[in-house]
């Protein structure tokens, strides 16, 4: 078999409901819909995603079975987002067995987020900076609440704002491929990592302010450097946690 033939693999036709499922899961994982939020109706999802109602129902059925949404009937009902349930002990055990996956996830995140942050410092608009400052304020408040009361809801609220903060920086880069890559990198990191942290530490908001300052000042070198330090600091925290 020649080298070019060896690189070819059978093509699997992906059912439409799996594509819908991936889009909704992505929105849930990145915090675009939070626990307690109501998803768009079946009809709205059909129009938004340009698929049949049967396809939407199949995807929603899977999400309900996984406990990610709850179907409520009557007034005020609909598809209500539920907080994800993780077995932290089992997740930590799996992460310890696959440390290479953690290394890969952080290296991937560093590569794409540093690049996006540097471009954001070069291309940012006033509206981007204003939104980042708004998020900084909201994150500071959310962290204060979570440190005083470490419930799953309060921890998730900060993590959702954190995701939005990093995706806002990516959008400020005005590079669609980097925006997609940053979203993908954060999903790959937070799905396993977020599952083992049931509480926040006082340093959870470190580096964010200096990153925004560098972006506002159009200083790509400092912005990229501080983002890299931030990611490596998170990686060190995770690796130390897994050694306990």
Calculate mean pLDDT across residues 207-212: 97
Mean pLDDT score across all residues of the chain: 87
Q: Given this model, what pLDDT does residue 28 score?
A: 84
Q: How many residues does the chain have?
A: 244
Instruction: Specify the domain boundaries for CATH 1.20.120.530 within the chain.
Output: 88-243
Please indicate whether residue 189 or residue 58 has the higher confidence score (pLDDT).
58
Please indicate whether residue 68 or residue 197 has the higher confidence score (pLDDT).
68
Instruction: Specify the domain boundaries for CATH 1.10.10.10 within the chain.
Output: 16-81
Nearest Cα to Cα of residue 164 among 145, 186, 144: 186
How far is Cα 227 from Cα 218, in angstroms, rounded to an integer? Answer: 14
Q: What is the pTM of this model?
A: 0.80
Is CATH 3.40.50.1860 the right assignment for the domain spanning 16-81? no
Q: Given this model, what pLDDT does residue 87 score?
A: 67
Locus of tokens 């899961």: 25
pLDDT of residue 196 exceeding 60, the answer is no
Calculate mean pLDDT across residues 27-54: 89
pLDDT of residue 160 exceeding 70, the answer is yes
**Is the torsion defined by CA of 101, 102, 107, 109 positive or negative?**
positive
CA atoms within 13 A on the CB side of 231: 28
pLDDT of residue 146 exceeding 80, the answer is yes
Quick one: pLDDT band at residue 202, thresholds 50, 70, 90? Answer: confident
Calculate mean pLDDT across residues 47-66: 93
- What is the topology classification, in CATH, of domain 88-243? 1.20.120
Where are any strands of DSSP class E within 76-235?
A: 78-81
Q: Which two tokens stand for residue 154?
A: 């309060």
Calculate mean pLDDT across residues 129-157: 91
Q: Given this model, what pLDDT does residue 194 score?
A: 58
Please indicate whether residue 104 or residue 32 has the higher confidence score (pLDDT).
104
Residue 147 parent element (H or E): helix 126-148
pLDDT of residue 198 exceeding 80, the answer is no
169-181 residue pLDDT tens? 999 999 999 999 9
Percent of the chain with pLDDT over 90: 52
Q: Given this model, what pLDDT does residue 62 score?
A: 92
Q: Given this model, what pLDDT does residue 117 score?
A: 98
């Amino acid at each position: 078999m020649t080298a070019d033939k060896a690189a070819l693999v059978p093509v699997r036709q992906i059912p439409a409901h799996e594509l819908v499922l991936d889009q909704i899961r992505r929105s849930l994982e990145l915090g675009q819909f939070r626990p307690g939020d109501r998803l768009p109706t079946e009809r709205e999802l059909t129009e938004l995603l340009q698929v049949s109602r049967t396809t939407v129902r199949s995807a929603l059925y899977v999400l309900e079975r996984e406990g990610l949404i709850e179907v409520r009937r009557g007034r005020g009902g609909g598809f209500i987002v539920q907080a994800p349930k993780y077995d932290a002990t089992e997740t930590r055990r799996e992460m310890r067995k696959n440390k290479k996956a953690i290394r890969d996830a952080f290296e991937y995140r560093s590569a794409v987020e540093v690049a996006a942050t540097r471009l954001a410092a070069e291309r940012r608009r006033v509206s981007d900076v204003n939104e980042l400052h708004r998020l900084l304020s909201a994150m500071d408040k959310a962290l204060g609440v979570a440190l005083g009361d470490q419930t799953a809801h309060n921890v998730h609220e900060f993590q959702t704002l954190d995701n939005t903060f990093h995706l806002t920086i990516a959008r400020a880069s005005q590079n669609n491929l980097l925006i997609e890559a940053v979203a993908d990198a954060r999903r790959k990191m937070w799905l396993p990592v977020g599952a083992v942290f049931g509480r926040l530490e006082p340093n959870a908001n470190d580096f964010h302010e200096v990153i925004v300052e560098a972006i506002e000042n159009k200083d790509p070198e400092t912005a990229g450097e501080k983002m890299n330090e931030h990611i490596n600091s998170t990686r060190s925290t995770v690796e130390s946690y897994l050694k306990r």
